[in-house]
Every structure is written in structure tokens, then in C-alpha cells.
Structure 1
Amino acid sequence: MENKIAVIGAGSWATALAVLLGNKGYCVNVWARDKLQVSDINTFRENRRYLPGVALPSSVTASVNIEEVLENSNLIVFGVPSHAFRETLKLSLPYISTEAAVVNTAKGIEEDGLYRLSEVFSQEAGKERLKQYVVLSGPSHAEEVGQYLPTTVVVASQELAMAEKVQEIFMTEMFRVYTNPDVIGVELGGSLKNIIALGTGIADGLGFGDNTKAALMTRGLAEITRLGIVMGANPLTFAGLAGVGDLIVTCTSMHSRNRRAGMEIGRGKSLEEAVASVKMVVEGIKTTRGAHKLAKKYRVEMPITAQTYAVLFEGLSPRTAVNNLMTRVKTHEVEEVALTKIEWMR
């Protein structure tokens, strides 16, 4: 049991983590729904669909039998999209030991109830099992982890011992892991940066430059922090790996699905056409809808999120959205973030 790890999902990030852990000597069982994908992985020792060119060590195998994958595993890594987390968790819970660490890598908000994924876990598993939950986030493209390029991430849990256990299991000379007790901040940072990446991608597609990108990233971080504060996050978390770190990599890299989708929208494609061109889940789309609702619920001003929402779902032209942002009423910079918590507490 000590050396067995289950990875639930067989996308690019789930596969990269399976490779990482397999190369450390752990026995890693990957679960996928698609029998053809499982057969392909086991036959060719590579996830040719989602992470081509990265060899799987012999200690990594795939299966469609979720009970078999989870049996006697002391660490379970969920690598499914955020919208599939609840359903997949329900399917998995009967086979997950109450002593196992449950590591969630999805970056999103459940749209219907506006729940963070730790809240989804608590609802399905029970509050008493929340001590098992660990969120892993930070600037980490699967393609680069699969190529053994230096990467740093953060893990957060309400139980420090559980976070440290996961830290120890994942750490390698090329994959550095930090711990953070702020589950709310780490989850929100990882989710909301995808909205800003869509926005910077749209700006890139319009042909704007580095100044525009820097402005969107910086002001995007400000509105992420504003919402995070009123939802109970530590504002310092957004200055770390799950905040500015993930924001930088997602807004600037061509590995970023959200940026690529935004670029296609900026070039004139419809939302559906942009998503089809990426050929993988673009988490920021659902997150934009969820964050737009959260901003209204908590009475937090999130202008970039609002304009991105209007472009994606209300037919607003990208150029008009940029003009709307540039011609907003004059305001201060630092004070508006610093006063958010004070105003919320009144």
C-alpha cells in the first residue's frame, strides 16, 4: 500500500504527474473511461492523444476498472476537469481509504452552486474527511513537466501533515513543492487566472502588444485578489505560485489552452470555433461564468472578468471590450485592493 498511487483521469496533466511519480519508483495506476485510450497507453507506453512524445515508465499502467485502480492506494490524484470532479469523486469514494491523501489538480469553480472544489469534496465525502483533501496548483504545464524541466508548485490543505506528506511524495530535483495552509486562496488563484489568460489571448489575437498583456495581468491580479479577500483567502497567496506565478505562465505561454482559445476569439472566431481549435478542455470558459456570478454575489468589482464574460457570452466585440476597460472612470491603484477587506467587514 505504501508505494501504490492512483491517478484518476488520463489527460495531459494527469499523465505528466503519473510519469513523475512512476519515475520516483511508485506503482501508479491510471484510470480512464475510454477503453481504446487505455489500450493505447498500455500498448505504446505513451499517451499519444494528450501527451505525445513522453514515455511512460514501466511502473505506470492504465485501466478502466476504477475499483482496481483505487484499491489499496494511499494517495489518489484527481486529474479530471473541474466540471467532472463531483461525478468522478462520487464514483471513486466507495474505494478510497479514509487514511489516503486525495490530491485535486483541477483549476475551476463548479458553475451551478459556485462551489470551490474543496467544498464539493466536503459535500460528497463529509466534512470530517476534508482533512484528506489537498489541492495542487501553480505554474506547471504538463508538456514541460513531462520533459523534466524545472517546475515549482504549491500544495494546500487544512491539515499541514497531509500537505507535507504530499510534498514529500511529489518532490524531485526538477519538481519543487511548497506547502500553504490557504486552501481558498490556492483554489481561487488557480481558477481565476484562466479568465485573465483568455483576456490576454484575446488581446494577442487583436494584435496588441506587451504593454497590453502586462496591464491585463497586473489589473487581473488585482481583481482576483479583491474577490479572494472577501471569500476568506490570504491576500499574500496571490503573490505566490498559485497567484502571480500561475498567472504569468498561463497568460504568456502557447502551452496555455486558455490563451490559445482567447487568441482565436481575438482573430474573429466564435467561442465554439476557438474551443474546437484547441481540442482540449478550456477551463476558463466555465470559470468566467462562475466568477461573473461570484462578483455579483460578493459585490466585488471585476472589470476584466465582466468584459471577458460579455465577449464570450453576450456578443460584445473584443475591441469594444478593450475600449470599455481603457475608458473606465479614473481610480487609484493600490488603495482599491487594500480597502476591499475593510469595506467588506463594515
Structure 2
Amino acid sequence: MTVTVLGAGSWGTTFAKVLADSGQDVLLWARRRDLAEAIATDRENAEYLPGVRLPDRLRSTSDPREALDGATTVVLAVPSQSLRHNLTAWRGLLHPDATLVSLAKGIELGTLRRMSEVVADVAGVGQDRIAVVSGPNLAKEIAAEQPTATVIACQDHDRAVALQRMCTNGYFRPYTITDVVGCEIGGACKNVIALSCGMAAGLGFGANTLATLITRGLAETARLGAALGADPMTLSGLAGLGDLVATCSSPLSRNRTFGERLGRGETVAQAQAAQHGQVAEGVKSCSPIRELAARHGVEMPITEVVHRVCHDGFHPGEMAGELIGRKTKPER
């Protein structure tokens, strides 16, 4: 049985490697033919994971028909805001009983839907066939086989367990939960909080500020999760706190790095150009997350400030005064 991974960026390629190292035959789809051919020839994705040898069980293609032919497990590893467009093109090629696994972390612009909701809408499948992977999963560290854990969330627990078995190996330890909502809210909101932490670092602020933003960022993420029906325990676990700490703290985090550039005085356009095609999901997701929070009457002050910096011309240097100057209140 072959597992298909659609998307050959850093995380898609890394997850394909995880699956292959766990004993699966994996077919990795790349949008560009030259990239697919280079992966096949060189056993390396030099564009996104230079220096990492890819397992022999991992094959590559740029033909979506070849990629999806007979695939009963399909991993969607494209950016959140392009998921609908890509999946619309692929849905006629999907196996009727395929398990669809989302690696994307974000909230869709316009519809305010979570990624599993986008998948259900476009593919016309039930939520019990859709799984979500989230956790402290910085791609380059995992590709280097540094130990990490993750969460596989699916309403169908047996399906989550089957996926867990498919991607367990000596450096990658997956846990299962059924709380898809909490898993996705944690994954989407942590990108926005990481932008704020990067901005703070770029402004020269230290560990106290970082800890404050992480902790209060978790609080506002938990408030939104609760409003949407998430289990609070999910957001205190790997898909919440774990992912948040890794993304807010590491220079490998695209969102953290993007925010740091803004804090040092670069414009959004300049910071985007410096990313060399790597997507900082929080830049776009902060807007629909803000709208989703407003729709449910949830206060998310850090998300509000990040949105204003990224989209309204608000200067990162005003961020501290905006947040510290808010009306005092009990912590809980």
C-alpha cells in the first residue's frame, strides 16, 4: 500500500520521510516537474531540505493522477490558503474510501473554516475520514531525526490509531485524540502568537516578554477553542502548548522569523521577499482568526495587534504599549 503526500515543501517532504522511515511506501507529489525529478534523481529535496537524504521507499512525481491512483491514505501538505484551490483540482482523483490527512495550519480567509472543514466541503467526505496532524513539528529538526512527538486528531479513533501506526518510528512519536477542533485551533493560533514573539525579539525584548506573549497567547487561544467546543486539555498538550512553545521560540519557525524582521523595521513585503517562497501562515491567518473570534465574542488582543501590524500599517514598536496599557483584570 502506497501513501501519497501532496506537497513537497519542507513539512510535506519531512512527513513523507517520516512515513517512509516508519516502513511505508510513499509517493510524494511536487507541483514542479523539475523538483520531482531532482528528488527522484538525487534522493534529496535540495530546495527545502538541503543535505537530508530521502529514504529509498520515497518516490516522487509531478503528475497528480499518478500520485493519487489507488491511494487510500492521502496527506495534504499545501499551505492553508491554497488548500481549497488544490483540493478542488484533485477531488475527482481521490479514492472513494481514502483517509485524508491535513498538515495545514490556518483558518480560511472569507469562509472562516478550519482546514478539516475545507477538506470536508471540497471533497464531500464525512469528518470521520479526515485527520489532522499537529504538534511541535519543526521540519528541519524532524528531518534530522531529532526526537519529537505529535498529535493525530480524528473523530474516528480507529482511523487515528491506524495513522499512528503508519508514522511511528525511532524519532517520531505520535499520540491520538478525537478533538479535531482543539488540534486545529491550536495549530492556527500559534502561528499568530509566534509572529508577536518574533516582533518582540526584533525590538530587542527579552525572555520575560517572550514568556508573557506565549502564556497570554495560550490563554486567548484557549478562549477561542472553548467557544468552538474544543477540549481544554488539547490546548494544554502537544497540539496547543507544545506547538506554541516550539514555534514561538525557534529560529527555524517561519512565523517567528517573519515577525522578527518586522520588529527590526522591515515592511511586510520585505519580510516576505526574505522568506524565499516559504510561507508564514500567520500573516494571512491572523485576519480570519480575528474575525472568527469577533463572531464568537472572544477577546484576542495579541491576535488583534498582529493583524494591525501585518495589514493596517501599525508599527511593531507600538505593540508593547498597546498590550501593557490594557485595562487591568484578574488573570482568570
TM-score bin (small chain): over 0.9
Letter of the 2:140 partner, please give it. Answer: E
Letter of the 1:213 partner, please give it. Answer: L
Could you tell me how far 1:32 is from its partner in structure 2? Answer: 1.4
Do the aligned residues in 1 keep the contact of 2:23 with 2:166 (CA within 8 Å)? Answer: no
Tell me what 1:47 maps to: 45
Do the aligned residues in 2 keep the contact of 1:98 with 1:132 (CA within 8 Å)? Answer: no
Q: Which consecutive unaligned segments of at least 5 residues does structure 1 have? A: 335-346
Tell me what 1:115 maps to: 113
Q: Which of 139, 142, 159 is equivalent to 2:136?
A: 139
Tell me what 2:4 maps to: 6
Do the aligned residues in 2 keep the contact of 1:101 with 1:166 (CA within 8 Å)? Answer: no
Do the aligned residues in 2 keep the contact of 1:6 with 1:76 (CA within 8 Å)? Answer: yes
Q: Which of 185, 189, 212 is equivalent to 2:186?
A: 189
Tell me what 1:338 maps to: none
My pick for the range that moved more, 53-62 or 263-272, is 53-62
Tell me what 1:251 maps to: 248
Could you tell me how far 1:11 is from its partner in structure 2? Answer: 0.2
Q: Which of 14, 17, 20 is equivalent to 2:18?
A: 20
Q: What is the CA–CA distance in structure 2 between the aligned matches of 1:101 and 1:169, rounded to whole Å?
A: 12
Q: What is the CA–CA distance in structure 2 between the aligned matches of 1:248 and 1:25, rounded to whole Å?
A: 30
Tell me what 1:236 maps to: 233
Q: Which consecutive unaligned segments of at least 5 residues does structure 2 have? A: none
Tell me what 1:343 maps to: none
My pick for the range that moved more, 32-41 or 196-205, is 32-41
Q: What is the CA–CA distance in structure 1 between the aligned matches of 2:23 and 2:230, rounded to whole Å?
A: 36
Instruction: Map 1:293-312 onto structure 2 (within 5 A).
Output: 293-312=291-310
Tell me what 1:319 maps to: 317
Could you tell me how far 1:95 is from its partner in structure 2? Answer: 2.2
Q: Which of 94, 99, 102 is equivalent to 1:101?
A: 99
Do the aligned residues in 2 keep the contact of 1:82 with 1:109 (CA within 8 Å)? Answer: yes
Could you tell me how far 1:107 is from its partner in structure 2? Answer: 0.5
Tell me what 2:173 maps to: 176
Q: What is the CA–CA distance in structure 2 between the aligned matches of 1:102 and 1:65, rounded to whole Å?
A: 19
Could you tell me how far 1:148 is from its partner in structure 2? Answer: 0.8
My pick for the range that moved more, 263-272 or 13-22, is 13-22
Could you tell me how far 1:317 is from its partner in structure 2? Answer: 1.5
Letter of the 1:111 partner, please give it. Answer: L
Q: Which of 63, 77, 80 is equivalent to 1:79?
A: 77
My pick for the range that moved more, 55-64 or 153-162, is 55-64
My pick for the range that moved more, 24-33 or 100-109, is 24-33
Q: In the alignment, is residue 267 of structure 1 matched against residue 264 of structure 2? A: yes
CA root-mean-square deviation: 1.1
Q: What is the CA–CA distance in structure 1 between the aligned matches of 2:54 and 2:240, rounded to whole Å?
A: 31
1:177 counterpart SS class: strand
Q: What is the CA–CA distance in structure 2 between the aligned matches of 1:327 and 1:25, rounded to whole Å?
A: 54
Letter of the 1:233 partner, please give it. Answer: A
TM-score normalised by the chain length of structure 1: 0.93
Letter of the 1:141 partner, please give it. Answer: L
Tell me what 1:130 maps to: 127
Q: What is the CA–CA distance in structure 2 between the aligned matches of 1:217 and 1:21, rounded to whole Å?
A: 31
Do the aligned residues in 1 keep the contact of 2:21 with 2:169 (CA within 8 Å)? Answer: no
Letter of the 1:333 partner, please give it. Answer: E
Letter of the 2:133 partner, please give it. Answer: L
Tell me what 1:333 maps to: 331
Q: Which of 197, 213, 217 is equivalent to 1:216?
A: 213
Do the aligned residues in 2 keep the contact of 1:223 with 1:302 (CA within 8 Å)? Answer: yes
My pick for the range that moved more, 198-207 or 110-119, is 110-119
1:254 counterpart SS class: coil
Could you tell me how far 1:100 is from its partner in structure 2? Answer: 2.3
Q: What is the CA–CA distance in structure 1 between the aligned matches of 2:237 and 2:96, rounded to whole Å?
A: 31
Could you tell me how far 1:131 is from its partner in structure 2? Answer: 1.6
